[in-house]
Structure 1
Amino acid sequence: MSFQSRRPLSDRALSDQDLLSSSAARSPLRRRFFFTMAVWRERVQARRCLASMDARSLREIGISPIAAAYECGKPFWQKIGPLR
């Protein structure tokens, strides 16, 4: 049995804004690179999960199918927007 946190990676570590701040500029480039890759991977996984859900499941969790389709069409480097 595995455990997966339901909190997004951006809540667990630095936010996207922190990456651009001066304090993040002092952190090693390697750390920022791997954090960015992890955020992008999480976005890809979230969008794949949305794409695999049917309209009934989306409506049950309060997401319109149109909003989910729009979100799934965005590239991985763009933030996930509001899905309501």
Structure 2
Amino acid sequence: MSFQSRPPSAQDFLSSEVSQPMLRQRLLFALAVWRERTKARRCLARMDARSLREIGISPAAAAFESGKPFWQKIGPLR
């Protein structure tokens, strides 16, 4: 079997020089997104009902959203 006819294995992808920076960038991006979600939810949790009504978010929607874990996307707040 020649090198060209051999199907690529998972080890080929994991050990390649190209995939490591890509994986690192994806992980850093995911961590940044999770951090922003955490900040946004903490901010929502600290806002009072009057401030929430001024920006068009119900207090119930804010409470529901601030209770979600960081890995879940932020949903509609209206």
TM-score (norm 2): 0.73
3-state SS, counterpart of residue 68 of structure 2: coil
2:36 is the counterpart of 1:47: no
Q: Which amino acid aligns with 1:51?
A: A
Q: Of the candidates 26, 33, 36, which is equivalent to residue 27 of structure 2? A: 33
Q: List gaps (5 residues or longer) in structure 1.
A: 1-24
3-state SS, counterpart of residue 27 of structure 2: helix
3-state SS, counterpart of residue 70 of structure 2: coil
Q: List gaps (5 residues or longer) in structure 2.
A: 1-18
Query: Deviation string for 1:34-56 (max 9, x for gaps)?
Result: 00000000000000000000000
Alpha-carbon distance in structure 2 between the residues aligned to 1:28 and 1:35: 11
Aligned-pair identity in percent equals 76
Alpha-carbon distance in structure 1 between the residues aligned to 2:57 and 2:30: 27
3-state SS, counterpart of residue 43 of structure 1: helix
Q: Which amino acid aligns with 2:71?
A: W
Alpha-carbon distance in structure 2 between the residues aligned to 1:44 and 1:59: 21
Query: How large is the RMSD of aligned CA atoms in angstroms?
Result: 1.6
Structure 1 runs of 4+ off > 4 angstroms? Answer: none
Alpha-carbon distance in structure 2 between the residues aligned to 1:76 and 1:41: 8
Once the two structures are TM-superposed, the CA of residue 60 in structure 1 deviates from its matched residue by 0.3
Alpha-carbon distance in structure 1 between the residues aligned to 2:66 and 2:22: 32
